[in-house]
Amino acid sequence: MKYKNIREEELKNKVGVDWFKLFDTTEILGNIDFTVFPKQSDLFGRTPLLWAEAKTGNYDIPTMFVQLILTIGKARTFDKTLPPAFLGAFDFKKIAFVDYINIQDIFYLNDFNWNVTPSNHETKEFKYIKERIKAILKIKTYVFDYQKDEKILKNFIKNNIAKATTKSKIKIDKNNFIPIYLRWLEIVKPIIGVNWEELKRANILDSDFYLADLFVDDNDTQNIEDDLTIRDSLFVVYQNQGYKIAKENIKQMFDATVNIKNKDTYLQFWKLYKRPPLKEFQDYIIERRDLLVPQDIRERKGAFFTPRMWVELSQKYLTDFLGENWQDEFYIWDCAAGTGNLLAGLTNKYNIYASTLDQADINVMHERIEHGANLLEKHVFQFDFLNDDFSPKSKNGKIPDSLFDIINDAEKRKKLIIYINPPYAEADNRIGEGRKGVAESNIHKKYSDKMGYTKREMYIQFLTRIYFEIPHVVLANFSTLKNLQAPRFLDFRNFYKAKLEKLFLSPAKTFDNVSGEFPIGFFIWDTKKEEKFEFIEADVYDKNKDFIGIKNIWAYDNLKFINDWVKTFRKTNSESIATIIGVGSDFQNQRLVRFGEPFMKVPASNHNWQTSKDNLIQTSIYYTVRRIIDANWLNDRDQFLWPDIGWQEDTEFQNDCLTHTLFSNNISNSFGTNHWIPFTEEEVNAKERFESHFMTDFIKGKIKIENKTDLFGNGINKNVKREFSNEANQVFDTGKELWKYYHSKPNVNVNASLYDIREYFQGRNDKGRMNSRSDDEIYMEFISELRRKLNSLADKIKPKIFKHGFLKE
C-alpha cells in the first residue's frame, strides 16, 4: 500500500506532491478535503479542476463520493464558486474521478435535507444519495491504484485534469441567481454602454439588465448570436446582442437600444451558465426582483418581499375580522406593491388594485399576469403614493377610473381595504430631514406640522395620507411598533385616532435583509372608528409561524420613564466611584447601559451621571433593572418607567440589586482606583492592601450618606448595615471563592475587579475581544457556579421589577 499508516492531512499532502505538483493544491474551499486549481488565473478567476474527498484506510468508493456530495450540497459550494471539471475520492490505496457533469443534477433535488452531517453514514439522506449515484459511478468513474496504475494515472491527470475546463454550464436556480448577479456586476455591467447614473435617475437599475440576460434561451450553444429572450414584457429585454427598453417604459417616441461594448467578455461570462434559469424557479426569480435592488433604494421604495407565511397569516386575520366573503365584498388596494407578492393568494382579481413607484415593477407584475398571476393588467399601475395626486386616467391622471370612483364615493370607500407593507426608510437626524432626500415628499411637506418628528419615517407618511385623504377605509399594514410605543411618536398618536382592531407580531429577522432583533407587526385599523391607541393584546408567532402567546402592547403616553426618575438622584456632591451611562429607556438600548471611569466624557444625548455613596443604591437598581432581563426581538420596544414608591421600603430588593450590580458589571481597574471590591483583604487572602475599602465599608454601614428624602419626606439610602437575602449571600460566597483563587496566583493585580479577573483567566483573541472561556478548569468551575447563583438571584429580582412598576406586564 503506497500510503499506509499515515494520517489524513499527511495523505493529502503526499497525494498533492506526488500526483499534482504542477497544480495548486493549497487552496482551502469550505470543508472540502482536497482541491486542485491551475496555478494561473484569468479575468474570470481560476477554474477549479478537482474537488475530492480524502480518507485514510481502504474505503468504499461510493461512500467517499457520497460524503463529498453532502459536503458540497450542505455548503452549496457550487453557488459560491465555479464547480470543477471533476470530483474525486482517494484513500491510501486508490484514487477515483468522475466528471462533475455526470452528477450535478443531484444538487438540484427538490425537498432534500442538505443539513445532515456528511460524515454520518447512517442518515436516510446519506443512504438515499448513495443509492442514487451507485449506477452512475459504476459506469462513469475512473479508478486507479497508485502502484499498479501509476503510468495510466499520470497520463489521465496530464490529458484530462490538466486540460480540463468546466464542461457543464452551471444551472441557475433560486439559490444561486443572486451570487451570479454579484459576479455579473463585476464582469458584465462595466461593458454595457450606458450612463448608469442617468438611468438610475430614471428609475432604471442594473438589475433590469441582469434579468434581461437571465431570461434568454441560449439554445445550448456557446454563441450569443442565437440567444433569444423568453420574456418580452420585462422592463429591459435582450435583443440583437444588446438590450432594448420599450418606448412606453421610458415615455419616449422610440424604443431605446443599448449596446454591449465587449461581446467577447460577455460571451466568456455567460458560457459558464445555462440560460434560462430552471423552469421551476423562473417565476420565483421574477417575483423576487426586489433582492437585486440596492439596500438604500429598497428602503426608500419599499422594494421588500413580505415572506409568504406572513402574507397567508395576514389574509387569515383579515378573514377573521371581515368575514369569509371579504374578498368579494371589499375592494383591495396595495399602494406599495413592489412586484405584488402581498396580493398572492387573493381570489377576486376584479376587486384588486396594485400600484408601485417603479415602472420596472409594473412590468414584472404584467409579466406575472401573462404567466397566470391573478391580477388585472388595467388594475396594476405606476403611482408614487407620497407625491402623485389622486387623479383618474380619464383626466390624464394615473389612477384607474374605477379605483378613483371608489376613493371618491363615501359608501364605496367604506368597503376599501388599503393592504400594504410600506417602505420603512427613515431620515438620520433628529429633526426629520436626515439621509439625503430619503424622507422628502409632498406628503412630508403637507403634513409636516402634524407629523412632527415622525415625518422622518416613510411608513408614517403612508399612514398619514391614508388617514386624512382616504378616510373611513380599513387599513391593513405591516410595520414596526414605533407608531404604537416609541415616546417620540406621540405627535403621530395624537392625530392618528383610528381604532386598532387586530395585531399580530412576528420576528423581523424572518423578513429579507433585516438583521435586528425586533418585532414586525401586522395591523388592522378601522379608520371609521375614532379611538386613540392606549393598549392591545397582540398575538405572537415565532419564526416558524407557530403561535407562542399573547403580548401586551402599551402606548406609554402620559407616563414618565426611568430616565425621568434618574433626575431625582443623579446630582451628588460626593466623590464619584464611576460614571454610569443609561441610553434610551427601552430594551433595544440595553447593551449600552454600562459603567465608565469617573467623569468620563459621554455624548450629550446619553443619560449619564456620577455614582457615589449618596446614590449607589438607586444606581444599582437602575443598572439591574435595565440589564437583568434579556433583550429579545419581542420586548425590543418595551419601555422602562418611573417606578412606584414601593421599592423605597423594599430593602431586600435594594440589596439584591446591589449584589447583582457588584457581580455583573464592567468596572475595570483601568478606570482608576477600584472602589467596587466587595471583600476585605483578609476574606480573599490578598497579598497586599487594597487601594479602596469603599464597598465593604458601605455594605457594613460605615460610610455616612447625605440624608435623602422622597417627595413624601421619607428617608431613603440610610446609613445602615446591609442585610442580604439568602440568594444574595450565595452570590457573595461563590464570588469570594473566585477572588481567593485569583489571589492565589503569582504576580496578580491586587486591586483587580471581577472584570479584570475574568480577563486574567480568559484572555483576549486576535481582535481584542475577551474569550468566552478559559483553559483553567478550576476557574471555569468557579465562574460557572457564580453565574448559576446570579441566575437564581435574577429569578428572585425579576418579578419585583414588574411589581414596583419599572415595566408593565
**Mind listing the pLDDT tens digit for each residue in 207-240?**
899 999 999 998 888 788 888 888 888 889 999 8
Residues 569 and 651 in one domain: yes
Q: With a threshold of 0.85, does the pTM exceed it? A: no
Single residue among 499, 527, 554 that ends a domain in this structure: 554
Reported as a single tens digit per residue, the pLDDT across 88-141 is 999 999 999 999 888 888 887 767 889 899 999 999 999 999 998 988 898 889
DSSP 399-454: B-HHHHHHHT-HHHHTTEEEEE-----B-SSTTS--STTTT-SHHHHHTHHHHGGG
Does residue 450 share a domain with residue 311? yes
Which residue, 79, 268, 47, 14, is CA-closest to 161?
Answer: 47
Element (H, E) at 96: strand 94-99
pLDDT computed for residue 288 by the predictor = 79
Number of domains in the chain: 4
> For residues 34 and 12, what is the distance between their CA atoms, to the nearest angstrom?
7
Q: Grid coordinates representing 330?
A: 371589499
Q: Is residue 314 a part of any domain in this protein?
A: yes
DSSP letter assigned to residue 39? S
Claim to verify: residue 309 and residue 257 sit in the same structural domain: no
* pLDDT digit string, tens, across residues 647-684: 999 999 999 999 999 999 999 989 999 999 999 999 99
Residues 644 and 754 in one domain: yes
Q: What is the mean pLDDT of residues 302-307?
A: 64
C-alpha cell at 469: 385623504
pLDDT in tens, 685-722: 999 999 999 999 999 999 877 655 444 444 455 568 89
Number of C-beta neighbours around residue 537 at 10 A: 11
User: What's the pLDDT tens digit per position in 36-49?
Assistant: 998 876 555 667 89
Q: Which domain holds residue 271?
A: 177-287
Nearest by Cα to 332 from 452, 412, 268, 397 = 412
Q: Tell me, what's the pLDDT at 42?
A: 58
Say if residue 463's pLDDT is above 80.
Answer: yes
Residues 393 and 473 in one domain: yes
* Residues 6 or more apart whose Cβ sits within 8 Å of residue 804: 643, 644, 646, 647, 650, 653
Specify the DSSP class assigned to residue 82.
P
Mean pLDDT across the chain, nearest whole number?
A: 89
**Taking a C-beta distance cutoff of 8 angstroms, is the pair 540, 632 a contact?**
no
Do 391 and 447 lie in one domain? The reply is: yes
* Domain end point (choices 258, 287, 316): 287
| Same-domain status, 540 and 568 | no
- Do residues 549 and 642 both lie within one domain? no
Mean predicted confidence (pLDDT) in 383-400: 96
Nearest to 272 by CA among 406, 394, 355, 180: 180
Q: Using a pLDDT cut of 90, give the percent of the chain over it.
A: 63
617 and 687 share a domain? Answer: yes
